[in-house]
Structure 1
Amino acid sequence: MLEKLKMDTKLFKEIDFSILFATISIVLFGIINIYSTTKLSYGSFFAKKQLIWFVGSLIVLYLILLWDYNLLENLVPIFYWISVVLLIYTKFNGATINGATGWIRIGGFSMQASEFAKLAIILMLAKRLQEMDLKINNLRNFMILTVYILIPVGLIVIQPDMGMTMVCFFIVLGIFFCAGLDMKIIGGGLFSLVLGIIVVWNSGVIQDYQKRRLTSFLNPEADELGSGLQLLQSMIGIGSGGFFGTGLNLMEGSSPSYVSQFVPESQTDFIFAVIGEHWGTMGAIVLLILYGILIYRFIVTARQAKDIFGSVICVGLSSYFLFGILQNIGMTIGLMPITGITLPLVSYGGSSLLTTVMSIALIMNIGMRKKKINF
């Protein structure tokens, strides 16, 4: 049994350690900032939970690396439909957090079903495009792919979780673009998206307070104590950090930071405000460099993958990382609408961290097996 858990030396040499180093560095950096912003009110509670999730995620990462990712292809439909069932379950029995009924509580932990659905969409598209030999402009093939997308995305929309809906859209857009979908179809899809947003916006699914939150970035001063509060306080905190930051305050008895006092959800959606205050522009640049290493290696792995299945997985996950980073940072500085999109690997959230590390493990697996290894 233990022999099966041992990685072959030849395979071990194929691991992309730059991805592993960047991933571990970003997560540990995130845990430090989570502790810094929550220690006054919660002590080490959030940081410890995140660390436990990370240790568990690393174990899952290692197990994923042991098995050829092609074996996963036959399990994709099972994973996909389980994620759909979880989305249906959360709609009727899930916990509501920040207006979205998208959480499943298990003991002291909460799991966000849409995080798994996001990965399931990528895997299903990769499997089907492999079977279709990338013939995405065939009408029948395109309609099949569209149905597989709309089932989970429709369930995410009615939670409602506009942040994850946006994530799924840009994942699909990245995959379809790289798969060679006709630009006229992409243009039509964007037009349909605009119409869909208008319909959902006026359907009553999105409540008024959620609408104000989404549009507050346009003029946060209009409601300084309401929908604009979080953004205004975030920008003040980031601005106070300057170029080198105010420094960490991890010692007992140290005064609380501005962001930890005045920015709600600073350990999750607005963790970048914590980074901007404590580490300044320099810290943000270092974080972006680490992200750049990850995305660059993801793209290289996509180009070198031995099959369509592996390449599409890498493209989908690269799209998620790129959009997630731009959206999360953008919303903390007033350039993007405020959504529930977390900063990948940094924000507090167990299910988000687990699925993101699983995704990275898949990319590493694909890179390890880009060529046949003879034993």
Structure 2
Amino acid sequence: MSSVGSRSAEVVHIVGARPNFVKAAPVVAALEKRGVRQSVVHTGQHYDDRMSAVFFRELGLPRPDVDLGVGSGSHAEQTAALMVGLEREFTSRSPGLVVVYGDVNSTVAAALVAAKLHIPVAHVEAGLRSFDRTMPEEVNRRLTDQLSDVCFATSPEAVGHLAREGVAADRIHLVGNPMIDTLLGHLDRFDTAALRRRLDLPDTYVAATLHRPANVDDPETVARLTKRLHEVADQADVVMPVHPRGRRAFEEAGLGGHPRMRLAEPLGYIDFVTLVRGSAAVVTDSGGVQEETTILGVPCLTLRPNTERPVTISHGTNRLVTDTELPGLVAAILAGDGIGTATVAEVPPLWDGHAGERIAAVLAGGDTAP
């Protein structure tokens, strides 16, 4: 570990989907300040401009040194294509360290290729567990953590999960959440009044985003969720940027048929977080949104039976809900009753905007960091 991230060895960051970009930006910036040689490889798992390129522009990430352009496909097709492209890239670059983020297919593909080429791997956002093996992300993060030489955890329970799975203590670092670094660093850009004017939004609205396979792959489930979202729209306008993964299913279910359902194209980072910040409540199945609403203080209704981020429930504004509960809970929020479940008043430990600096300190040789 002593040579990992040294200035003579290139650090290669692997990003492929929009949550990766938000997490990588503060790490890349912190390593840049330390003079570490680094490059960014974009796998192209998210390839639409609104899902990808706009994030690089808004977050100040350097243009990717490589864009593999893998695109979509089944899990097997996409992961195989990722591994072929990444093996070629790592063989030509011979990096000293590969840094992976989150739990998408790009993450596990890069970790597996690097491990087989004997290249050290660092996993940012290690140790999160939903304990639901039906989620592809759960498989990805478990495998990635076992392959990683360095595990950067965002919360104390993540440290505990890693320890119980046999990860050595000297491989685990509790550093906080780099996604929150990005959020806090751009706080003054989330102008809710300006967004309302531009999108012609009312003062009170609900923001929604759904993309998990369990919610968008089965037509019956989509039809049921559409009915519930229409019941929410009976109470307030619902603004929903529609993820490409679920677009066709929701269109076929008639989601846009309600006069107060406002379906939009995917938004860039600034616009999306501004939309969330200005909403009365958020309906989601996204892990990142659970974290962002925790910091922004916006009630978050997560349409999932579990979460790998329980700290957003104990320390934040998040609540796991079923579709049948959804309309009633939105009504309670709009009435000012709240849905608070947090047992601790303050934000999660180390979610203070300095996670990227802590990660860089470890990778650059163990210097102290905030």
For normalisation by structure 1, the TM-score amounts to 0.28
For normalisation by structure 2, the TM-score amounts to 0.29
Q: Select the structure with the greater relative contact order (CA < 8 A; seq sep ≥ 6).
A: 1
